[in-house]
Amino acid sequence: MNKTALIIGYVWPEPNSSAAGSRMLQLIRALQDGGNQVHYASPAEFSEHAADLPALGITPQRIALNCSSFDDYVQQLQPALVLFDRFMMEEQFGWRVEKFCSQALRILDTEDLHCLRHARQQQFKAAVKLLAEEAPLPLQVDNEFLFSEVAVREIAAILRCDLSLMISAAEIEILQRRFQVPATQLLYLPFMEDLPLRAAGPDFSQRQHFVAIGNFRHEPNWDAVRYLKEALWPRIRQQLPQAELHIYGAYPPPKATQLHNAREGFLVKGWADDAIRVIQQARVMLAPLRFGAGLKGKLIDAARSGTPAVTTGIGAEGMYDAGAEPVLLANGAEEFAAAAVRLYRDETLWQLLQQQGLGLIQQRFAYAVHAPRLQQQLLQLQGSIAEHRRQHFYSQMLRHHSLKSTQYMAQWIEAKTRR
C-alpha cells in the first residue's frame, strides 16, 4: 500500500515563531505515526528559524510557483495523500496534483479560516472609522464583510478538497451555517499537544510583571501590541506603577521596537528562544486580540506555563469549556485593564485559573486523542475515495471549472516568464 504523503507548505515550519509552525509539526508527526513517509515541499525561501526536517525523517523539496518542474516532481513521487497548507497552496498546485496524481487524497489544512479573520479585521476597521472611538469586537461578523473575494477563494478550495482540517469548532459551525459546506468534508482537528512535561513554575509570590507574545507578522498580534501601548497599558500602569509589560514575538519590525519605553515599563523584547520559560516567569499574560480566527497558541502556552491570562472573546473562541476557563474575559479597554489588575493582585483567583489551565491540554487538546482520529479518518477516506467524491458533486464541478482557469493562468505566467 502506498504510504507516501506530500505536504505543500506555504512556508517552512517555524515552531518557535508561530502557532502555525507548531501545528504543522503536529500534523507531520500524526502522519508519520500513521505509517506515512512524509515529504515537505514549499516555494518559500528557507528560514534560519525553520525546523530541521531531515532530522525528523522528512524529505524537504524546494518547488517553484507557476512552473512545470512541479509536474515532474509530483508525477515521480506519486503520493497517496497531498496536504495543502492553507488555501493559497491548493490554488497554486491543486490542478497539477489533479492532473498528475488524481487518485491522491486531497487534504486542506486551513490553519485558521482566513476569510473569517479577514472579515473581522475589515469590519473592525470600518467600525473604528465610523465611531471614531473604541469599536465593539466583531464576534458576529456581517455577511457584507464575510462574503468577500477571500471567502470565494477559500470556500472553493475547501470544496475542491476531499477533507479540510478545521482547528476550531466555531469555524466549522460558520462553514456549515453560513456557507453550507457539507459536514462530510470537514474534520475538527485542534492543536494536538503532549501533556505538559514541565511543572507549573514559580508560584504567585515569586512571579512579577505581565507578558504578551505573538509573531509580529500576524496582523492581529501587531494590532494587540498597539492596543496595549495606546489604551490598555496606561490604565494598568496607573494602578500598578511598578509593574512591567514584557512583549515577545518573532520578526519585530522597527515600528514595534520603537514602542519600547523603559520609563513606562513597556518593554519590547522581540524573539524568545524559549517561549514557555519567559511566559512562566510572568504573573499574568495579556492577549487583547480584537480580530482574528482559529485557536491561539499563546494561550495554550500560557496554560502549559501555569500563567493565567486576560483575553478577549476573540482570543477565547473555541479554546475552553464554559465555566472552566483559565483566563479572564474582557472586551473593552476599561474592562480589560480592570481584569488585568484584579488578576495580578488576587492570589486566590490566580491559583484557581492556574489549576484550570494545567488541565486544559488533557481536556481538549491531547495528541493521544486527536491524532488517532485523524489517522482513522484518512484510512477510511483512502478506502472509499471514489464513493466519497461521487457524493460531492459541487467538488467535481469546481475542480472541472476552477482548476482549468487556474491552470491556464499559471501556464500563461510560466510562458511569459520564459520570454
**SS3 state at 122:** helix
Residue 220 domain-assigned (yes or no): yes
Angle CA 57–63–64, to nearest 5: 165
Residue 8 domain-assigned (yes or no): yes
Give the sign of the dihedral formed by CA 259, CA 263, CA 265, CA 269: positive
- 209 and 188 within one domain: no
Q: Which residues of the chain have pLDDT under 50?
A: none
- 19 and 98 within one domain: yes
**SS3 state at 105:** strand
Q: With contact defined as beta carbons under 8 Å apart, do 255 and 359 qualify?
A: no
Widest CA span of the chain, in angstroms? 70
Residue 338 domain-assigned (yes or no): yes
Count of all residues that appear for the chain in the document: 419
Interval 75-88: pLDDT, tens: 999 999 999 999 99
C-alpha cell at 233: 497599558
CATH number of the structural domain spanning residue 247: 3.40.50.2000
Phi then psi dihedrals of residue 88, to 5 deg = -65, -35
- 344 and 211 within one domain: yes
Residue 9 domain-assigned (yes or no): yes
Look at the chain and report how many structural domains it folds into: 2
Residue 42 domain-assigned (yes or no): yes
- 352 and 391 within one domain: no
DSSP single-letter state for residue 184: G
- Rounded Cα–Cα distance for residues 211 and 4 (Å): 42
Beta-sheet strand order (sheet of 309-311) = 266-270, 245-248, 210-213, 284-287, 309-311, 327-329
| CA-based radius of gyration for the chain | 22
User: Given 364, 380, 403, which residue is the final one in a domain?
Assistant: 364
- 18 and 109 within one domain: yes
**Chain CA centroid to CA 402, Å:** 26
Residue 197 domain-assigned (yes or no): no
**SS3 state at 123:** helix
User: Given 341, 364, 387, which residue is the final one in a domain?
Assistant: 364
- 214 and 167 within one domain: no
- Rounded Cα–Cα distance for residues 195 and 131 (Å): 45
H or E stretch covering 143:
helix 143-146
- 147 and 34 within one domain: yes
DSSP single-letter state for residue 136: P
Q: With contact defined as beta carbons under 8 Å apart, do 229 and 208 qualify?
A: no
Angle CA 120–124–128, to nearest 5: 175
User: Given 364, 384, 402, which residue is the final one in a domain?
Assistant: 364
Q: Which domain holds residue 143?
A: 4-192+366-418
- 253 and 147 within one domain: no
- 397 and 360 within one domain: no
C-alpha cell at 132: 471614531
- Rounded Cα–Cα distance for residues 84 and 158 (Å): 10
Residue 401 domain-assigned (yes or no): yes
Q: With contact defined as beta carbons under 8 Å apart, do 70 and 39 qualify?
A: no
- 386 and 354 within one domain: no
